[in-house]
Amino acid sequence: MSFVYILIGTVAFAIVAPIVGCLLAGLDRIISARMQGRVGPPLLQPYYDVRKLMEKDDVTVSGVDGVYMTCALVFTAFAGGIFFSGGNLLMSAFIITMASLFFIMAAYSSRSPYAELGAGRETLQVMSYEPMVLLMAVCFYMAAGSFNVADAFLLDKPVITIIWPAFLGFLFILTIKLRKSPFDIAMSHHAHQELVKGTTTEMSGKTLAKVEVMHWCETVLFLGWTGMFFLWMNPVSFVIAVVVALAAWFFEIWVDNNFARVKWQAMLKSAWLVALVAGGFNIIFLMFV
């Protein structure tokens, strides 16, 4: 994959993903409100919130959390650019993990006990979902013959037909990656978070706005990973992939509003068990196919 294509994809992702992610975040709030018997905010409320944050001054203790969040946002855009330009799936997974690490460093830099506790839990979340993400990428390679996402369009059938266990495993850890309940142990978008706002407790102004935009971009990227399983040489597959991704997104909202948060021990054990059973079984199966 040419670096020029990746650069173009990164710029396009940096422009389109925040728009799509903002609309999805607005729909998320409305659907969640309706599930709870409320009307909910307007569709563009996430945009209004971020715009208001951009107009405020940063109140920071260390002065470097904004730099870390800028790095996290850049790495997120780069990971999305690699994926949506048809590049290396494994590289996209590694780079989005780097973005998560910068996010964790931003929280630790504040030296706030609440933010540090949230950063520690964010680290546990990364430890929980990362094995399944790597096994998913390996399964995709074994099914498609390449880590390049563009090669999925050359297949006679979608990879979901032979790596469906890896897909189910990915759906499980998708709840962790989207920071949805029952795995929102580090940072919650709901008002009942006992850590106040966890990793973002000491963040404000433009720094907090970067967190929200990064979350929008992450949502679009992870839904792209979901739709990837349903791509093949038929042009209709793109429509199917979008529909499946949106269905998975709606399912995550339903889970978020119907399950109470679990302890970090349960999250870590269940995620690793799913990775071992779903990812491990799928790799063993592909070795003998």
Cβ(149)–Cβ(86) below 8 Å = yes
Cβ(176)–Cβ(267) below 8 Å = yes
Among candidate residues 68, 69, 23, the one with its CA nearest the CA of residue 46:
23
Model confidence, pTM:
0.93
Among candidate residues 108, 110, 117, 104, the one with its CA nearest the CA of residue 196:
117
pLDDT band with cut points at 50, 70 and 90 for residue 109 = confident
User: Cα–Cα distance between 92 and 158 in angstroms, integer?
Assistant: 20
Residue 176 in tokens: 């962790």
Share the mean pLDDT of the chain: 90
User: Cα–Cα distance between 161 and 171 in angstroms, integer?
Assistant: 16
Under DSSP, is residue 40 helix (H, G, I), strand (E, B) or coil? coil
* Residue 62 neighbours by CB under 8 Å, 6+ apart: 109, 110, 111
* Number of Cβ within a 10 Å radius of residue 36: 9
Does residue 6 carry a pLDDT above 90?
A: no
Does residue 62 carry a pLDDT above 80?
A: no
- Number of H helices and number of E strands within the chain? 10, 0
Does residue 193 carry a pLDDT above 60?
A: no
The domain of 85 spans: 3-287
pLDDT of amino acid 116: 86
pLDDT of amino acid 82: 95
Buried b / exposed e over 141-160, threshold 16 CB at 10 Å, is bbbbeebbbebbeebeebbb
pLDDT band with cut points at 50, 70 and 90 for residue 191 = low
Q: Which residues pair with 88 in a beta bridge?
A: 148
pLDDT band with cut points at 50, 70 and 90 for residue 189 = low
Report the number of distinct structural domains present in the chain.
1
Q: Please, what is the angle between helix 45-54 and helix 205-228, to 10°?
A: 140
Strand runs (DSSP E) across 61-158, as ranges? Answer: none
Under DSSP, is residue 86 helix (H, G, I), strand (E, B) or coil? coil
